[in-house]
Amino acid sequence: MEVFALIIAGGVGARFWPRSREHSPKQLLEIIGRGSMLQNTIYRLDPIVSRKNVLVVTNSLQEVEVRKQLPHIPQENILIEPVGRNTAPAVTFGAEILRARHGDCIMIVLPADHLVHDITEFQDTILRAIQVAEISNGLVTIGINPSRPETGYGYIQYLDQSTSNQFSTIGAYPVVTFAEKPNRETAQRFLESGDFLWNSGMFIWKVSSLLSQVAEFLPDISDSFHSLRAYIDQPNFEKKLEIAYKKMESISIDFGVMEKSANRYIIPSDFGWNDLGSWDEVYRILPKDADGNAIEGNVFFLDTKNCHIATTPKRYVGVIGVTDLTIIDTDDALLVYKRGSAQAVKEVVESLRKNSKTKFL
């Protein structure tokens, strides 16, 4: 069965302000290493998915930059959502396009803003997931073995490896339940239990399997896309899509489908994954000096410990006598916060939007 990939690349990356902006969110930036996060997401699929079989879902604000970064992806494979409605409509959009153009096929769904260190292990995990999806007609996800009681990730409980099932020999197990981002105490219990994994947001399934589950659990979204089938790749499709999208529920594919499905599997993995959800995560993986400082750019620092300080080539930053701070400086904005408060950075973005200070967004 032919294999395709759908890359979800429409997020705004609010917790990465001030570097992440509406026209250039974090997935379009070089955060770690060379190449944008979107580009690297596609590159690490190369042995598995042909470039002509990669689709990207984004929005009109980011369309120009996405096309610029991905000249090797067919133009018709860049799918533009008229308005953001979370991941369930985005994934269904991609699945309907694949069904119309190619019939039933394997669909790998990946966020565009994740970091993977062990590419070989990642590719092996995806290949095993493809095998499970094709044989089981089920919905397959990738779980990350947790290394700490993280409160910023969702968790997935599974039947542990002592439980035999038809796919246990290739390392896939039935899902028991999904859990939202926990508090610290609950996250510690999850870690100690040994049967909870971090939810990576990566999915593998047949297009037919996914669409049948959307029809069962999200009938309104399914019906909306069903009414669009006759217009796919026709001149009036964009207008029809805009009308349909405005009526759709905003809901994640996790909550809308995965949490309700009875035929779902997870593959526990450890390929150096990080969703880089905040500046705190970047600090965690950056190299540091003897005092725990991660420094990027032209920075003078003295009597400073456990800080992440980053600036642009046009700016020079001096930092003296501080501890446990994140300082992100750009040409037109500055972010300073106590490390550990990264989840609140999005409140800056919400304030800018509320006060119509769009030049900083």
pLDDT at position 178, please? 96
Residue 137 and residue 232 share a domain: yes
Residue 179 and residue 322 share a domain: no
pLDDT at position 31, please? 85
Percent of the chain topping pLDDT 70: 99
Q: Is the pLDDT of residue 164 over 80?
A: no
Calculate the alpha carbon distances from 218 to 85, 111, 209, 214, 306 in Å.
13, 21, 14, 5, 46
Instruction: List the domain range (segments joined by +) for residue 152.
Output: 3-274
Residue 136 and residue 17 share a domain: yes
Query: Which of the four pLDDT bands, split at 50, 70 and 90, describes residue 32?
Result: confident
| Residues present in the chain in total | 361
Q: Is the pLDDT of residue 160 over 80?
A: no
User: What is the DSSP pairing of strand 325-329 with strand 334-338?
Assistant: antiparallel
Average pLDDT of the chain to the nearest whole number:
95
- How would you label 33-51 residue by residue, b for 16+ Cβ within 10 Å and e otherwise? eeebbbbbbbebbeebbee
pLDDT at position 276, please? 84
Residues 197-243: pLDDT tens digits?
A: 999 999 999 999 999 999 999 999 999 999 999 999 999 999 999 99
Task: Among 274, 308, 341, identify where a domain stops.
Answer: 274
Which residues are CB-contacts of 136 (< 8 A; sequence separation ≥ 6)? Answer: 166, 167, 263, 265
Q: Is the pLDDT of residue 79 over 80?
A: yes
Task: Among 220, 255, 274, identify where a domain stops.
Answer: 274
Residues 87-135: pLDDT tens digits?
A: 999 999 999 999 999 999 999 999 999 999 999 999 999 999 999 999 9
Residue 326 and residue 233 share a domain: no
Residue 328 and residue 284 share a domain: yes
Residue 322 and residue 261 share a domain: no
- How would you label 204-225 residue by residue, b for 16+ Cβ within 10 Å and e otherwise? bbbbebbbebbeebbeebbebb
Task: Among 255, 274, 293, identify where a domain stops.
Answer: 274
Residues 7-28: pLDDT tens digits?
A: 999 887 788 999 999 888 999 9
Residues 251-276: pLDDT tens digits?
A: 999 999 999 999 999 999 999 999 88
pLDDT at position 149, please? 94
Q: Is the pLDDT of residue 316 over 80?
A: yes
Residue 134 and residue 223 share a domain: yes
pLDDT at position 250, please? 97
Cβ(345)–Cβ(14) below 8 Å: yes
Residue 263 and residue 310 share a domain: no
Going through 213-324 in order, the beta strands assigned E by DSSP cover 264-269, 273-274, 294-296, 299-302, 308-310, 317-320
Query: Which of the four pLDDT bands, split at 50, 70 and 90, describes residue 163?
Result: low
- When divided into structural domains, the chain yields a total of 2
- DSSP string covering 27-71, please? GGS--SSSS-HHHHHHHTTTTTS-GGGEEEEEETTTHHHHHHH-T
pLDDT at position 162, please? 63
pLDDT at position 343, please? 83
CATH number of the domain residue 156 falls in: 3.90.550.10
Cβ(335)–Cβ(352) below 8 Å: no
Give alpha helix (H) positions in 22-176: 37-43, 63-69, 87-102, 119-136
pLDDT at position 308, please? 98
Cβ(298)–Cβ(310) below 8 Å: no
Residue 243 and residue 95 share a domain: yes
Percent of the chain topping pLDDT 90: 88
**Average pLDDT for 130-151:** 96
Residue 212 and residue 65 share a domain: yes
